[in-house]
């Protein structure tokens, strides 16, 4: 409804001003032709804007709201970006370091959205992207004291979840119930999916292991803020407790907990369809094993606050791993599910080698038992000529094992020195490829190294490339990796072919109408803040749902994005997309 009102207002203001520039962001000041990180830049960091190619050869920087020019520079020559078929020039103002609020002008073209230069320029969006997980909590009300204007009633108690016949055992008969409350809603829908929780939690825990001092003092204003556990870990515990309830007595883990079909766009309290846990699967069980193993070493430091948790997690992890060894090919095949048939997200993955490697590696690091190291087989995967490692995504998780091995390298240099060298070299080699592309790319970003980057959830690819580069930076302290990671953060916050900042609530032209049931069904104009939209996706699997909203302007891979709630293929949000954004933005804050 609120969208319709906006469009009517927009139409009348168009008649009055003849500006023809009524963007869904509601403001009209920025030029569509100058694309930059709408939040801003670090004084010592790289600063680039991308400008539509024209005759212009220079750019100017002004203090915001003042006529005072503070910097000028030459634009680069024009270059084509194949993913949007644009010719663009770059404005590099990295040497301008003075903190303040600015706009960038290109004579004859107009001015950019405002931006800031400051030491902690990304702190607020970085923090909001963590708080976004609080807004995704299931089974609880979000009171105004924590959720502000996005307060809402509780829904999805999940205290009586039915066992689907695909998951039935002698002890847990089909149709009997278990309690499996808490957890985060996966995305714009209200499902809770173990596979996707796996990579999400692994990424968040990795941030914690890499930057504990920064996170220990971060205040999120959540219900647990007054206990003696860092808020960041309290938030992850909310999902971890749910995950723990998804393990069956035999060690196997249910693939997901959802209603049989997606609910309409209602608030959680009104989404009352029966919920089910379905078939146990090898990938869900292995992702669970990896997360609980990693969690067990993190919570070992909180024995007083959480007595026994760390030990329990390790027991659960080993049990899950053993189940997967015994059931190594349990694919989740949604088509086979009947009575009821199930049509919610499948997260179906048929190659479990990477999940085995990740789980075994995390178990090795938490137990120091050699057998897990041997079973992980990282060494032979690194030696093989095949492309065994990639930027992580929900079905490809073994690079998370490389990150963990590299992070804990000092513990293991004695026994596995040469392997650990190979692990580090692999991370650096992958980072080098991204860096090399970034140097020659028209947009100056690692994002776009391959046309395949633009798939469903493409923004998580950009964020995960950033995480990879930051891992390489942590190993080498080579600032080029840090800067290239920063370039991908710039991409996500505005320096991209759509000109959108894809983080809700941040940037003058930011995502306003995500496919996100709470944001759609509440009466609040603004979407829940801190959520990362999936981003450009030329697959346009939602085309039928969006009528004629896709136009010629969306025809290229990097422009195939519409800020409309119908667009579940380009404008949904998801926990596995937010998590690498959380890592990227917060790691940069911690490092800079
Ligand atoms: O992120 C998932 C993407 O890789 C798949 O191509 C797509 C279709 O299966 O599903 C995406 O995940 C969705 C999940 O299935 C259900 N919750 C919303 C997720 C984001 O769209």
pLDDT for residue 375? 97
Angle formed by the axes of helices 575-591 and 123-135, nearest 10°: 150
* pTM, 2 dp: 0.95
* Each residue's pLDDT tens digit, 50-90: 999 999 999 999 999 999 999 999 999 999 999 999 999 99
**What would the two tokens of residue 368 be?**
């120091």
Q: Which atom of ligand 1 is nearest to the CA of 515?
A: 21
- For residue 114, pLDDT over 70 is answered with yes
Stretch 341-360: mean pLDDT? 97
Percent share of the chain, pLDDT over 90: 93
* Each residue's pLDDT tens digit, 242-254: 999 999 999 999 9
Domains in the chain: boundaries: 148-353
Q: Which atom of ligand 1 is nearest to the CA of 188?
A: 18
- Confidence band of 28 (pLDDT split at 50, 70, 90): very low
**What would the two tokens of residue 99 be?**
């903190």
How far apart are the two ends of the chain, measured CA to CA in Å? 42
Q: How many CA atoms lie less than 13 Å away from 394 in the CB half-sphere?
A: 26
Distance, in Å, from the CA atom of 539 to the CA atom of 554, rounded to the nearest integer, reads: 11
Distance, in Å, from the CA atom of 51 to the CA atom of 105, rounded to the nearest integer, reads: 10
Stretch 433-439: mean pLDDT? 98
Q: Residue 252 — φ and ψ, nearest 5°?
A: -70, 155
Distance, in Å, from the CA atom of 162 to the CA atom of 171, rounded to the nearest integer, reads: 13
Q: Quickly list DSSP for 171-191.
A: SS-TT-EE-----B--BSS--
Q: Quickly list DSSP for 473-525.
A: HHHH--HHHHHHHHHHHHHHTT-STT--B-BTTSSSSB--S-B-HHHHHSS-S
- Catalytic residue chosen out of the listed positions 349, 563, 564, 589: 563
Write the CA distances from 83 to 50, 86, 107, 451, 554, integer angstroms.
14, 8, 27, 7, 11
pLDDT for residue 415? 77
- Catalytic residue chosen out of the listed positions 83, 156, 255, 515: 515
- For residue 449, pLDDT over 60 is answered with yes
Ligand 1 centroid to 266 CA: how many Å? 19
Percent share of the chain, pLDDT over 70: 95
pLDDT for residue 15? 38
- Confidence band of 30 (pLDDT split at 50, 70, 90): low
Stretch 418-446: mean pLDDT? 96
Question: Ligand 1: residues within 6 Å at CB?
Answer: 186-187, 189, 191, 345-347, 456-457, 568, 572, 574
The residue whose C-alpha atom lies closest to atom 10 belonging to ligand 1 is 345
- Confidence band of 5 (pLDDT split at 50, 70, 90): very low
Ligand 1 centroid to 206 CA: how many Å? 23
- For residue 7, pLDDT over 50 is answered with no
Ligand 1 centroid to 404 CA: how many Å? 26
- Confidence band of 8 (pLDDT split at 50, 70, 90): very low
pLDDT for residue 4? 43
pLDDT for residue 413? 67
- For residue 10, pLDDT over 60 is answered with no
The residue whose C-alpha atom lies closest to atom 14 belonging to ligand 1 is 345
Ligand 1 centroid to 541 CA: how many Å? 11
- For residue 285, pLDDT over 70 is answered with yes
Q: Which atom of ligand 1 is nearest to the CA of 539?
A: 6
Q: Which atom of ligand 1 is nearest to the CA of 574?
A: 20
Stretch 532-551: mean pLDDT? 98
- For residue 17, pLDDT over 80 is answered with no
- Confidence band of 411 (pLDDT split at 50, 70, 90): confident
Stretch 462-489: mean pLDDT? 98
Distance, in Å, from the CA atom of 306 to the CA atom of 50, rounded to the nearest integer, reads: 49
* Each residue's pLDDT tens digit, 207-265: 999 999 999 999 999 999 999 999 999 999 999 999 999 999 999 999 999 999 999 99
Stretch 109-114: mean pLDDT? 96
Q: What is the mean pLDDT of the chain?
A: 94
pLDDT for residue 24? 38
Helix, coil or strand: residue 116? strand
Ligand 1 centroid to 475 CA: how many Å? 33
Task: Look at the domain 148-353 and name its fold.
Answer: Glycosyltransferase (1.50.10)
Ligand 1 pocket test, pick from 136, 183, 184, 187 with the greatest ligand atom count within 8 Å of Cβ, gives 187
Spatial CA neighbour of 585 closest among 34, 37, 199: 37
pLDDT for residue 416? 87
* Each residue's pLDDT tens digit, 178-203: 999 999 999 999 999 999 999 999 99
pLDDT for residue 6? 43
Ligand 1 pocket test, pick from 184, 265, 574 with the greatest ligand atom count within 8 Å of Cβ, gives 574
The residue whose C-alpha atom lies closest to atom 16 belonging to ligand 1 is 345
Active site residue 515: yes
Ligand 1 centroid to 345 CA: how many Å? 6
pLDDT for residue 3? 47
- Catalytic residue chosen out of the listed positions 158, 186, 189, 522: 189
Distance of CA 87 to the CA centre of its chain: 29
Distance, in Å, from the CA atom of 31 to the CA atom of 38, rounded to the nearest integer, reads: 12
């Amino acid at each position: 409804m609120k969208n319709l009102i906006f469009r009517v207002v927009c139409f009348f203001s168009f008649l009055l001003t003849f500006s023809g520039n009524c963007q869904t962001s509601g403001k009209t000041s920025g030029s569509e032709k100058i694309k930059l990180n709408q939040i801003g830049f670090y004084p010592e960091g790289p600063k680039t804007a991308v400008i539509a190619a024209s005759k212009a050869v220079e750019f100017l920087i002004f203090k915001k709201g003042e006529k005072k020019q503070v910097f000028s520079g030459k634009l680069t020559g024009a270059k084509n970006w194949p993913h949007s078929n644009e010719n663009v020039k770059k404005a590099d103002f990295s040497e301008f370091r003075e903190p303040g609020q600015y706009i960038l002008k290109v004579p004859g073209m107009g001015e950019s959205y405002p931006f800031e230069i400051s030491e902690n320029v990304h702190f607020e969006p970085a923090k909001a992207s963590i708080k976004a997980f609080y807004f995704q909590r299931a089974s609880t009300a979000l009171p105004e004291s924590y959720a502000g204007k996005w307060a809402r009633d509780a829904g999805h108690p999940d205290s009586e979840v039915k066992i689907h016949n695909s998951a039935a055992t002698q002890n847990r008969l089909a149709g009997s119930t278990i309690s499996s409350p808490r957890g985060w809603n996966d995305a714009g829908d209200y499902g809770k999916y173990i596979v996707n929780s796996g990579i999400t939690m692994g990424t968040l825990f990795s941030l914690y292991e890499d930057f504990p001092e920064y996170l220990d003092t971060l205040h999120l204003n959540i219900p647990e803020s007054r206990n003696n556990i860092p808020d960041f870990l309290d938030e992850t515990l909310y999902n971890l407790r749910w995950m723990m309830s998804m393990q069956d007595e035999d060690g196997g883990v249910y693939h997901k907990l959802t209603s049989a079909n997606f609910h309409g766009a209602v608030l959680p309290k009104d989404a009352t369809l029966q919920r089910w846990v379905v078939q146990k699967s090898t990938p869900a069980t292995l992702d669970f094993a990896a997360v609980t193993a990693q969690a067990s070493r993190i919570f070992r430091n909180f024995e007083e606050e959480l007595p026994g948790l760390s030990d329990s997690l390790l027991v659960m992890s080993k049990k899950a791993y053993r189940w997967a060894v015994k059931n190594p090919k349990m694919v989740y095949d949604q088509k086979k599910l009947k009575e009821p048939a199930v049509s919610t997200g499948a997260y179906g993955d048929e190659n479990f080698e990477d999940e085995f490697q990740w789980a075994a590696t995390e178990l090795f690091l938490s137990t120091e038992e050699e057998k897990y190291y041997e079973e992980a087989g990282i060494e032979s995967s690194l030696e093989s000529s095949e492309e065994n490692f990639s930027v992580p995504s929900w079905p490809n998780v073994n690079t998370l094992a490389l990150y963990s091995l590299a992070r804990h390298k000092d513990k293991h240099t004695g026994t596995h020195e040469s392997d650990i060298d190979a692990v580090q070299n692999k991370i650096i080699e992958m980072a080098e490829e991204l860096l090399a592309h970034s140097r020659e790319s028209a947009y100056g970003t690692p994002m776009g190294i391959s046309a395949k980057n633009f798939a469903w959830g493409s923004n998580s690819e950009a964020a995960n490339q950033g995480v990879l580069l930051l891992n390489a930076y942590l190993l080498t302290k080579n600032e080029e990796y840090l800067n290239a990671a920063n370039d991908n953060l710039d991409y996500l916050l505005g320096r991209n072919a759509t000109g959108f900042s894809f983080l809700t609530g941040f940037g003058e032209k930011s995502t306003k109408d995500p496919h996100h049931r709470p944001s759609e069904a509440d009466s609040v104009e603004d979407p829940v803040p801190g959520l990362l939209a999936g981003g450009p996706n030329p697959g346009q699997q939602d085309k039928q749902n969006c009528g004629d909203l896709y136009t010629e302007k969306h025809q290229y891979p990097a422009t195939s994005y519409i800020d409309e709630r119908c667009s579940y293929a380009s404008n949904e949000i998801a926990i596995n997309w937010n998590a690498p954004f959380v890592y990227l933005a917060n790691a940069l804050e911690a490092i800079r």
